[in-house]
């Protein structure tokens, strides 16, 4: 066992002792590991998962017509509120079919240490939420409320501009669309493949002189700016 794992195990035992819990609890998963993606914050009755359980990459959770789920993703710090449909857990966000999803940044609850407990542990009144350490990716994300955001470079880019949009919720970035735009700002073309709500994307702009700007973004139809208007413009920085 590595020194890091020994420290993590000691931290678990110490916090459980401080909360008055047994020193050998039955965890939903023993550690996040490579396949643990996030933590269930809320779950309606009758679902195959409960609050404070971990969810694993590739796991499918049927919510039916009325099911409700709230998930905090470890690496992306995304907090998803999902109502109805079928949820598939990704590395950084969920894919939802037949339901609704709203995504925000979990700036309060997302930390570099994570823990999961069983339902019985949660019912005992423990206030512990996260313990086992992990290495988060560097994640700075913009949010837009439209599936056709307007790409606006933060600085000058010589045209024509080559645009690449990649989906990041895979082991390796997946190219969604690539094309050229004569001038910017310009909207993501209506003829390009549709972008999904809640998934992480990266847009890359390459000018005629070879200079590149990029930014990471996701789509939340309910997101509003401080002026209470839809967020349609995506500023792409060098």
The pLDDT tens digits for 187-228 are: 999 999 999 888 889 999 998 888 888 889 988 888 888 888
CA atoms within 13 A on the CB side of 177: 18
Whether 86 has a pLDDT exceeding 90, the answer reads yes
CATH pick for 141-236 out of 2.60.40, 2.20.28, 3.40.50, 3.30.750 = 2.60.40
Q: What is the pLDDT of residue 156?
A: 78
127-185 per-position pLDDT tens digit? 333 333 333 334 457 889 999 999 998 877 777 889 999 988 766 788 999 998 888 88
Angstrom distance (rounded) from CA 25 to CA 190: 52
Q: What is the pLDDT of residue 109?
A: 59
- All CATH 2.60.40 domain ranges of the chain, comma separated, are 141-236
Secondary structure (DSSP) of 58-111: T-EEEEEEEEEEEEEETTT-EEEEEEEEEEEE-SSSEEEESSEEEEEE-TTT--
Q: Give Cβ neighbours of residue 202 (< 8 Å, ≥ 6 apart).
A: 165, 166, 168, 173, 214, 215, 216, 217
Q: What is the pLDDT of residue 110?
A: 60
What b-and-e string marks burial along 96-111, b requiring 16 or more CB atoms within 10 Å of the CB?
beebebbbeebeeebe
Mean pLDDT (whole number) for 23-37: 45
What mean pLDDT value characterizes the chain? 74
Q: What is the pLDDT of residue 127?
A: 36
Q: What is the pLDDT of residue 170?
A: 67
Q: What is the pLDDT of residue 107?
A: 63
Whether 84 has a pLDDT exceeding 90, the answer reads yes
């Amino acid at each position: 066992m590595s020194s890091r794992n020994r420290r993590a195990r000691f931290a678990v035992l110490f916090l459980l002792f401080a909360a008055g819990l047994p020193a050998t609890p039955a965890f939903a998963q023993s550690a996040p590991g490579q396949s643990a993606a996030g933590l269930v914050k809320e779950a309606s009755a009758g679902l195959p998962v409960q609050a404070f359980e971990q969810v694993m990459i590739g796991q499918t959770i049927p919510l039916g017509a009325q099911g409700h789920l709230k998930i905090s993703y470890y690496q992306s710090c995304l907090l998803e509120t999902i109502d109805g449909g079928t949820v598939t857990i990704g590395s950084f966000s969920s894919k939802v079919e037949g339901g609704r999803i709203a995504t925000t940044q979990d700036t309060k609850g997302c930390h570099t240490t994570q823990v999961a407990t069983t339902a019985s542990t949660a019912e005992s009144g423990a206030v512990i939420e996260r313990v086992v350490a992990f290495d988060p990716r560097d994640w700075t994300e913009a949010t837009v409320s439209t599936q056709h955001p307007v790409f606006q470079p933060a600085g000058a880019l010589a045209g024509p501009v080559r645009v690449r949009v990649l989906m990041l919720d895979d082991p390796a970035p997946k190219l969604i669309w690539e094309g050229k735009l004569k001038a910017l700002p310009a909207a993501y073309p209506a003829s390009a493949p549709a972008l999904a709500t809640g998934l992480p994307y990266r847009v890359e702009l390459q000018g005629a002189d070879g200079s590149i700007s990029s930014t990471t973004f996701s789509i939340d139809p309910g997101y509003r700016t401080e002026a209470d208007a839809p967020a349609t413009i995506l500023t792409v920085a060098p």
